[in-house]
Structure 1
């Protein structure tokens, strides 16, 4: 192709020879077949796109055939030009076909044009042949494509029809499938509904089955099928109760409950039968050991009464556990309570005789305190063993102490009935206090607290016994306070003061040892010692409210008794002995009741009818109506008493009595020592008042107008005499008083406190006299009077302590 183009170019250079291609064949693209083929090809290209790998292969193939190579026979071997200007072209190796070749020697232009024309014809012939062959092939392919397109059209038409039919079939199939799905869902729903209905009806259908089983002759509580039937019966009852809207549910519920009552009755009968059988076996075992129902050795008591009974009743444990597990329902709660009662009755029939016999033996051999200890200890042992056995059969009910009450209460009542007659006749307060300590501290406080769960059933009876002891102790304490304190009649020895104290002092000096402490209570007035002893015993034994009342009453009557004794001692000895006796014992009483952490005050309430008389008088006078209920003077208000409250504080009354007695003692000692000075000051005061009133009235007596030292009672000699009397009293009488104070009041601080106001009064009297002497008398007269200085006086008084 390149050679042809080159030759053509050269032809134009040498002449006007040109290559003109033949006219193209007619336009076949306008035919129907070509149009359909093109459309089909386009559709095919769209429906079946080439992959990237296929497109690369086509591109590579197109590049390979884009340039056609020279034919082998056209390969130019050589070209030479003669020296004379001629051109020789050898085309020996150039060929246009398999059998055609051109070999020419071009000498001149004509030969070249001829050769070129032949070459051009050959090239055209070869090119046209190839293209003609290609056109023919294309024509044949187009015809084939037309046929194929016609077939394709028919196929497409058939395919479209088939597709429509497929769509119709698919639509029908989907409709059928949806209908099948709906039917399957509806079927499943109906199946579930049927099963639900069947499951609900199953509870009602169970009535006949349960009825046949519970009324069968071979049905008993010991059968292994009984508990499952009972469980199924409970389920049916629960279901019918929770669905009262169902038809005839009330009828079925009634029938189910009848079956349940029969089943629970069978259980009760079975439990009673097994318990009686176990009791019979235990009684037979007791007889075989040589004992009786009320006489059995302690060694075999536990093994026979508890171990044998536990082994004989083991078969009850499964059915009792089932009942306990359903005790939330009232029917099973009732049957469980019945089983508890039956159990307690059978156990009581076995152990009551033994317990009664043991307590009776204790009562014959032991005193009241020992009987209380032994009886409580034995009952606690029995109660603990019974609680363990009860826990074996009723593990879920053992925490409820009321379950064992029908058994424990009768057993503990034996001890209560044994102790009560002895308590009623007991008069010894000390023994009653010991009983309180045993019950409150040892039994309830220590033993019962350590085993509170198993011994809780005994607590009510023990508290009842303790309450009886408290009541008896309170009564005996009141009787003791009344007889031994309030109504105490002192003997001559009790009133022998101060001799009684002097004897005690001598005995103390004879011992000559500070380690030995003689019995100080012997120097106390007996009601004081009895009051404090009684309160010390009752403080730990009685409730605070009860003790407060007794303590207030005891202190009050003891104070009254001390005051009565003080008056008797005053008559028998001296007033000072009576005062010191009262001070001594009030101080003892106050000091000893201080540790009691109570208030010695009691509020008394009483009814006051004193206003009734005045109301009745007004009614009789017509000033008020008897039937006027709306006014304050009505009959209801008239007959309503007034409640008067009065509070008595024995401790405060004691303080008042002590204060009054101390003041009385201080004044009596003061008068004993400085009474002349007090009389002298009183007279001087009277004279000065008379002088001052006389000077105002201008009526002054000549005697009263004299100076003080000229008065008959106030001469220097008289004043010196009274000073000497006072000094003598200080030196003679006051030491005696101090000796008595030491005899009655052993505490030095107490004596110091009591002597301090006495000393103050004595010093104050001397100060007043010295002031008068300095003001009214001359120095010579003062020397005659010769009063002791205040400093020396105070030193002398201090030495007495």
Structure 2
């Protein structure tokens, strides 16, 4: 840049009338630029470090092309094409290295034992947090993240300001898709090593973080893939071999040109929508598993009662009612007041003992209290609904004495208060 500026000043001194046309300097500046390009290119195309490539983009775009060339004006105009060419090479190298990084470090990541050590990893982190200051905690927020998640967010954060929007969108879509798949694979391994609930909460935690972290990127995570389809070619060739079509009949749809013309298939992948779909499905699975853990005896009871009522109804319509089936509900072996009291006690015990353990595990994985409240709300609704159904059945089928002296169910209001206290 200094040499180019000096050459311009010298040229302007001797040939002031010609210096207004920058192209007049081209025979002098172009060889210098070629030397610069030939010196830098071998270094650029062998650079593998994403941080260095991103820094080079910033230096060239902001400091050199933006600040230096704007400030020095026409004296460096002849250098601009070469600098833009160098920047294009850096962009190309950065795109290639980013795609390689996404493939090796995210899509094909092989987890270590400590990467899958949940919930122990979170418990250790929780103990460490209580001993450190809040500033240390903030700087270490990603320590408990599954590595592909941290690598994805770190990679996208570096690339966002360095690449053209269309290129970044394609890379971001790939990274988010592969990261989501990697997290789901890890959750299955954790479910086997620890528990199904740990696997579910691990997946919910990481998908929520991924969704939150990609939100600031102002792009669509949707990419349209085009591919050529030759599947119809085989059937055309079979018809030709059977003599049903001619290879050289150009007027027919089975002509050579048409036969060998591929179809273009388009498919659109939206990584963000797929992420939302996976998150929703996992949350629903978790909600149902916790619901069953607590009120499964009640759900089974309601199912059996419904089956008995259907049998009674169909039997009475056919006028062939078995005497054993006609018996009142509380006379059925599974529905005696004592049996109902057992299931009520079992559910009550689960609410007092099992549910607090679940809530503690939720707190371990999901630090945000509002997130836990959103996830717990449908669980609470399901538990209350199961109790309401049983209360309704008991009120219609059992005597007040049975309900008071034997079954002794908690009221819906007390139940709701008890569940609210768990949050």
Name the TM-score, length of structure 1 as normaliser. Answer: 0.52
* 1:507-553 CA-partner distances (Å, limit 9, x unpaired): 11122x44542511111001100110000001111111111111111
CA spacing shift, 1:402–1:700, aligned 2, 3 Å? farther
Q: 1:396: how far off? A: 4.4
Q: Which residue of 2 aligns with 1:681?
A: 302
1:756 paired with 2:369, answer no
CA spacing shift, 1:729–1:400, aligned 2, 3 Å? farther
Q: Which residue of 2 aligns with 1:502?
A: 123
* 1:468-526 CA-partner distances (Å, limit 9, x unpaired): 11111111111111111111111111111001001111111122x44542511111001
Q: 1:414: how far off? A: 1.9
CA distance in 1, matches of 2:145, 2:123: 13
CA distance in 1, matches of 2:417, 2:63: 61
Match of 1:690 among 297, 307, 311: 311
Higher mean displacement: 429-438 or 562-571: 429-438
* 1:226-256 CA-partner distances (Å, limit 9, x unpaired): xxxxxxxxxxxxxxxxxxxxxxxxxxxxxxx
Q: Which residue of 2 aligns with 1:595?
A: 216
Match of 1:548 among 152, 160, 169: 169
Q: 1:405: how far off? A: 2.2
Q: 1:398: how far off? A: 3.0
CA distance in 1, matches of 2:338, 2:44: 79
CA distance in 2, matches of 1:689, 1:407: 97
CA spacing shift, 1:401–1:628, aligned 2, 3 Å? farther
Q: Which residue of 2 aligns with 1:72?
A: none
Q: 1:664: how far off? A: 0.5
SS in 2 for 1:630: coil
Unaligned runs of 5+ in 1: 1-379
Q: 1:596: how far off? A: 0.4
CA distance in 2, matches of 1:584, 1:626: 60
* 1:262-297 CA-partner distances (Å, limit 9, x unpaired): xxxxxxxxxxxxxxxxxxxxxxxxxxxxxxxxxxxx
Q: Which residue of 2 aligns with 1:788?
A: 410
Match of 2:6 among 385, 397, 401: 385
CA distance in 1, matches of 2:274, 2:5: 53
Q: Which residue of 2 aligns with 1:799?
A: 421
Structure 1 residues 226-625: aligned runs within 5 Å: 380-511=1-132, 513-518=133-138, 519-625=140-246
CA distance in 2, matches of 1:381, 1:566: 58
Higher mean displacement: 424-433 or 625-634: 625-634
Structure 1 residues 114-153: aligned runs within 5 Å: none
SS in 2 for 1:521: coil
CA distance in 2, matches of 1:532, 1:797: 37
Q: Which residue of 1 aligns with 2:258?
A: 637
Q: 1:697: how far off? A: 2.0
SS in 2 for 1:421: helix
CA distance in 1, matches of 2:210, 2:374: 18
CA spacing shift, 1:625–1:723, aligned 2, 3 Å? same
CA distance in 2, matches of 1:763, 1:531: 41
Mark the structure with the bigger radius of gyration.
Answer: 1
Higher mean displacement: 385-394 or 641-650: 385-394
CA distance in 2, matches of 1:676, 1:560: 35
* 1:126-154 CA-partner distances (Å, limit 9, x unpaired): xxxxxxxxxxxxxxxxxxxxxxxxxxxxx
How many equivalent residue pairs? 421
CA distance in 2, matches of 1:790, 1:411: 85
SS in 2 for 1:800: coil
CA distance in 2, matches of 1:449, 1:701: 97
Q: 1:404: how far off? A: 1.9
SS in 2 for 1:603: strand
1:723 paired with 2:361, answer no
CA distance in 2, matches of 1:515, 1:488: 31
* 1:625-675 CA-partner distances (Å, limit 9, x unpaired): 222212222111111000000011111100000011000111101101111
Give the structure, 1 or 2, with the largest relative contact order (CA under 8 Å, sep 6 or more): 2
Q: Which residue of 2 aligns with 1:737?
A: 358
Unaligned runs of 5+ in 2: none
CA distance in 1, matches of 2:38, 2:142: 40
CA distance in 2, matches of 1:670, 1:386: 80
CA distance in 2, matches of 1:549, 1:515: 35
CA distance in 2, matches of 1:476, 1:433: 11
SS in 2 for 1:523: coil
CA distance in 2, matches of 1:540, 1:573: 40
Q: 1:403: how far off? A: 2.5
CA distance in 2, matches of 1:400, 1:775: 100
Q: 1:420: how far off? A: 1.6
CA spacing shift, 1:675–1:630, aligned 2, 3 Å? same
* 1:721-775 CA-partner distances (Å, limit 9, x unpaired): 1111111111111111111111100111111111111111111111111100111
CA spacing shift, 1:659–1:703, aligned 2, 3 Å? same
CA distance in 1, matches of 2:105, 2:367: 27
Name the TM-score, length of structure 2 as normaliser. Answer: 0.97
Higher mean displacement: 381-390 or 631-640: 381-390
Q: Which residue of 2 aligns with 1:166?
A: none
Q: 1:389: how far off? A: 2.2
SS in 1 for 2:342: helix
Aligned-CA RMSD value: 1.3
CA distance in 2, matches of 1:400, 1:676: 90
